Structure 1
C-alpha cells in the first residue's frame, strides 16, 4: 500500500512539473510581415512521444500539428496552407513557437498552443491583433475661383486619428471620408482641407495609435489670385478663338465643295 501511494505521489509531482506557457499573452501582427507566436513547454529530449498542436480557440480550427517527429498537416485549415512552421530544431529545448508568414486580417484572434509528451499535457492561450501601417499619403491640390483644396489619400488599419493644423498650430476644420475595409483589410482614407488665403501653410497629421505610427505632411504654397484670374480669361479667349477657327475651316470646306459641284 505504501509503495502504491508513493508511486501515485511521484506521478502527480511529475505531472505537476509539466508546464506550457506563452511568453506574451498578446501579439501585435503587422500586415504582410511574419508573426511568431511564442510557446514554451517543459522539454523532454525524447521527441518520439511529443505532440504539438496549434489551433484557433474560437472554432478549434487546426493551424499546425506535429507528431511522430514530423509535421502532420492533413487536418490543417486551408487558410494556413503553406504559411505555418515550427522551429523543429528547438523542440527538444521546449520551444513550440509557431511562425505565420505574411500576416492577413483574418489571422487576428485567439490561438491555443497544446503540447503533450511523456512528462504531461498542457495548453496556453494567446491573442493576436492585426494592424497595417498607413501608406505614404498621396497629395492632390484642387483650385477653383473661391478656394484652394488640399487633399491627402492613404490606406491602413485600424481607423486613424486625423488632424489638420494651421500656420500657428491652430486646429483647422476638414472633411474626412473613411471607406470600408478592402479584401486586404485596409481602410481607405481621404481627407480634404479647404484654404482661403493666397499663402497656404498647413500640416496634415495622421496617427495610427495601434502601431505608434505618426505621419506629418506639411504643405506650403502660394498662388496669385490675379494671375489665376488672368489665366482663366486667357483660356476662355483661346477657347473662343479655337471655336471660330473651326467654324471658318468648315465654312471654307463647304464653299470649296459647292464650287466643285457647280463646275460639274
Structure 2
C-alpha cells in the first residue's frame, strides 16, 4: 500500500520538528471485545482557532503497514485506505478543534489487533503509537448429556473464542477429570477457535460435573454445569401416558360398536312389533311405533 506523501515528509523532518510540536496518546493500550466499537485517541496542540487547511492526520496499522484513515490538509482521502477498514472507520472531526484526533472502529475484528500509529502534521509534526488488543472470551458454552447405557454418560461442551482455550473437567467434589476427556479445536470464522470437549464417564443419576473453559492469555474462565438427572421416571411416565391413551381409544371404539349393535337390535324389535300389530288387526294399514 502506497504511503501518503506527507508521511514521508514527516518522517524526514521529524527530528527537526519534534521539539516544537508534540503529539500525546492518553492511552497507549486499548482493549476491546470482538464485535464492539473502540475509539483510539491522540492529542496535539492547537493554540487558538484550528485552521483545517493546515491540518493533516493519518492513522496507520503500523505492524502491517495498512492505511486506516487519512485527512490531508483538511480533506478526507480514502483512496489508499486498506480494504480491511472500509466502512468501519470514522474520525470524529468535531473534536479536532479541541486538539483531539479520535479514531473510531466499529464492529471490531480479531484481525484489527495490533499497533496503530497516529501522525499529526500541523505547523509541526509528531506521532504516537497505540496498541489495540482484541479479546474474544468463551462466554457461551453449548452442552449436552447423552446416556450410552449401563450407567455410562457422554458429556459434551462446545464454545468459540480466542485465543485457544484449555478445557478442564471436574466432578461435584472438584476432582480433576481432564485426563479422561477428549478435547479438539479447529479454526472458525474471523480467526476464532471452535473448541469441543467430550467426557465419557460412568456415573449414577443426580450427579453434577463442571466444564471449565480457561483462557490463559486473558486470565478468564467460563464454566458450564452439566447435571445428570433421573430420566427413567420421565420415560416411564411417557410410556404410561401412551398406554392409557391407547386404552381409552380402544374402550371408546368397543363402546361405539356395542352401541351401534344395540341400536340395530332395537330397531329390528320395533319393526317386528309393528308387523305383529298389523297382522292382528288386518283392517289397519298403519304401523304403530312405540
Common topology (TM > 0.5): yes
Aligned to 1:29: 32
Aligned to 1:221: 228
| Inter-partner Cα distance in structure 2 for 1:15 and 1:130 | 31
| Inter-partner Cα distance in structure 1 for 2:52 and 2:189 | 41
> Alignment RMSD, CA only?
2.6
TM-score, L = length of structure 1: 0.73
- Per the alignment, in what secondary structure is the counterpart of residue 96 of structure 1? strand
Change (3 A) 1:83 1:204: same
Aligned to 1:207: 214
Give unpaired runs (5+ residues) of structure 1: 1-11, 235-264
| Inter-partner Cα distance in structure 2 for 1:96 and 1:36 | 10
* CA radius of gyration, larger in: 2
Q: For 1:115-154, what aligned pairs fall within 5 Å after superposition? A: 115-118=120-123, 120-146=124-150, 147-154=152-159
Number of equivalences: 217
* 1:53 aligned to which of 58, 68, 75: 58
Give unpaired runs (5+ residues) of structure 2: 1-14, 240-290
Aligned to 1:62: 67
* 1:195 aligned to which of 193, 196, 201: 201
CA contact (8 A) 1:112 1:124 kept: yes
Aligned to 2:251: none
Change (3 A) 1:15 1:215: closer
1:215, CA displacement in angstroms?
Answer: 1.9
The CA deviation string for residues 103-130 of structure 1, in whole angstroms up to 9 with x for no partner, is 1122112111000102x10011122222
CA contact (8 A) 1:176 1:189 kept: no
CA contact (8 A) 1:178 1:187 kept: no
1:220, CA displacement in angstroms?
Answer: 2.4
Change (3 A) 1:43 1:212: farther
CA contact (8 A) 1:131 1:210 kept: no
Change (3 A) 1:34 1:211: farther
Change (3 A) 1:144 1:207: same
Aligned to 1:103: 108
